[in-house]
Amino acid sequence: MKSDAFSYPPRGLSREEAARYIGVGSTLFNEMVADGRMPKPKRINSRTVWDRVALDIAFTSLPDKDGGLQELLERSKRDGQKDSATFIAYTPKA
């Protein structure tokens, strides 16, 4: 593969990389995949890989400790701000 001057984050992650990416160990990650909190992997020939974007979506869907971000996302949807170009500033509760 030809290299260029840009740096790209990997899109496909191994099980260990995916677990590390979301901040948990491999055992908990396996449980989260099994119970549906994290997405199932994709197959690329003989490799099993997790899509980083799918991990981001699943991670965002996890409940917050204080519910702040989820509440903000739900309020945004109710208010009709469904455009993906809309950005919302979020300040966690102290």
Give the tens place of pLDDT for each residue, 16-32.
999 999 999 999 999 99
Question: Residue 42, SS3?
Answer: strand
Q: How far is the C-alpha of 64 from the C-alpha of 61, rounded, in Å?
A: 9
Give the tens place of pLDDT for each residue, 35-80.
999 999 999 999 999 999 999 999 999 987 776 666 777 777 888 7
The confidence score (pLDDT) of residue 93 equals 55
Copy the structure tokens of residue 30: 């396996």
pTM: 0.66
